[in-house]
Amino acid sequence: MTAPAPAQDALAREVRQWLARNWDPNLSLAEWRERLADAGWGQPTWPTEYYGRGLNAEQALVVQAEFARIGAVGPATAGPRGLAAATLLEHGSDAQKKRYLRGITTGRDAWCQLFSEPGSGSDLAGATTRADWDGARWIVNGQKVWNTSAHHADYGILVARTDWNLPKHQGLSYFLIRMKQPGVEVRPLKQMNGHASFNEVFFTDAVVEADDLVGKPGQGWQVALTTLSHERAGFTSIRGAEKLRHGDQRIYREYAREIEIANEPYTWYPQRAGRIDMLLDRARESGAIEDPVARQEIAGAIALQRCLGWFGARGLAKGPAGSIAKLAASRVARAGNRAHTIVSGIDALFEGPDSPRDGIVGEILLSTPATSIAGGTDEVQKNIIAERILELPREPRFDDGPFKDVPRN
């Protein structure tokens, strides 16, 4: 640890003083976050005119440290709202920032992301959900999928096609859409492991107001890239059940509930990752710890996971190298599945209460296949590595003409 610079000292003092005057764990979560938004301390890096303080990332750490020191709750962060905020800050109009950022940071409004479609998975830019201008508003028709928390959401960030005569990346536009309207139907999508963490969203003449277009028509892909880069940065970190508990006051109870709701879709994520952490204990339980062949599998799985952890911890997983970490995570998940199978033997037949560890083992076996698909398939990651890191030639293009002529599903 190096000593804080004098300017940082002053900043810390300022935050401390403000917290001393304003922080009150008996406030409601909403009341407190309104105060945060007014003062800008909740989002130190946001501009001062939009509920922030215009500080840099290093300064923001100083602010957060002061919050943590006394257990003060921060702004709303759960779910895709952070992606919406980051995108708006970079591409939104002044009016849009004014209109939406406050509701994002206070937690008043929930958001969802509406990018993937049944017909365009790896090929996100092949979206065919359409938005047509009727002279006053955009009319949206089509279907999105894999939309986490869409059933809770007030707003969505939406990529839709507005011009079918341009090449595919040029005909997309980026919208903010009200989710609570008649033309939007949200249906839960059940996964093979029995959870329903995602939704399908159907649009039938849903409406987007003119001033909810982000950027210009046709700039949707560039705007979406901002969202995606923020999403990718968050993917490889494993979501845990975040615990911040300083007392029993009202705000902590509300905050705990907020986290619980936010984490609800992710309870199976540790299983998706292969639960390498459980292997040795499970092997002791089942007796496989005495089996040299099982020990080989366990060693291989643990080694992979350690290497992935070290790779990430050394800050190597940035930019295209994030794809290396993503592929390594797929290997960890597969190795975990194999090792848990051999460790459990006949018990791998079961699910739910009859599966070891109250169903966790069964859930591992049924969840690991998601790791190499969600957030960009292994195949896409390999293309990225081959083309951007190894600098091998790109795949020949078959989709660079007018989109209406491009073969699609």
Q: Which residues bind its own copies (CB under 8 A)?
A: 291-293, 296, 396
Residue 374 partner contact from another protein, its own copies, none using kind-dependent CB cut-offs of 5 to 8 Å:
another protein
In whole angstroms, what is the distance from residue 50 CA to residue 164 CA?
36
In whole angstroms, what is the distance from residue 40 CA to residue 97 CA?
14
Return the exposure string of 322-342: e unless at least 16 CB atoms fall within 10 Å of the residue's CB, then b.
bbbbbbbbbbbbbbbbbbbbb
Residue in 157, 152, 132, 153 with CA at minimum distance from that of residue 142? 132
Complex with another protein: residue 109 or 297, whichever CB lies closer: 297
**203 pairs with which residues across the strands?**
142, 184
Longest CA–CA span in the chain (Å) reads 73
Complex with another protein: residue 53 or 272, whichever CB lies closer: 272
Amino acid at 227: T
**Residue 397 engages another protein in binding (rule: CB under 8 A):** yes
Complex with another protein: residue 25 or 126, whichever CB lies closer: 126
Complex with another protein: residue 134 or 395, whichever CB lies closer: 395
**Residue 58 engages another protein in binding (rule: CB under 8 A):** no
Candidate ranges 36-44, 97-105, 259-267, 285-293; the one touching another protein (CB under 8 A)? 285-293
**Residue 348 engages another protein in binding (rule: CB under 8 A):** yes
**Residue 197 engages another protein in binding (rule: CB under 8 A):** no
On the 0-12 / 13-18 / 19+ scale of CB atoms within 10 A, 255 is buried
Q: Measured from the CB of residue 153, what is the shortest distance to another protein in angstroms?
A: 20
Residue 62 phi/psi, 5-degree rounding, is -60, -45
**242 is an active site residue:** no
| Residues 142, 130 contacting (CB under 8 angstroms) | yes
| Residues 115, 251 contacting (CB under 8 angstroms) | no
Check 34, 66, 117, 231 and give the catalytic one. Answer: 231
Token pair recorded at residue 226: 């901002």
Candidate residues 280, 285, 357, 402; the one interacting with another protein per rule CB under 8 A: 280
Candidate ranges 72-80, 150-158, 220-228, 304-312; the one touching another protein (CB under 8 A)? 304-312
Residue in 66, 33, 42 with CA at minimum distance from that of residue 255? 33
Q: How many residues bind another protein (CB under 8 A)?
A: 88
Q: Measured from the CB of residue 85, what is the shortest distance to another protein in angstroms?
A: 26
Q: Measured from the CB of residue 169, what is the shortest distance to another protein in angstroms?
A: 12
Q: Measured from the CB of residue 340, what is the shortest distance to another protein in angstroms?
A: 11
Q: Measured from the CB of residue 240, what is the shortest distance to its own copies in angstroms?
A: 35
Give residues 356-375 in contact with another protein (rule: CB under 8 A): 362, 365-366, 369-370, 372-374
Residue in 73, 94, 95, 97 with CA at minimum distance from that of residue 85? 97
Q: Which residues are catalytic?
A: 231
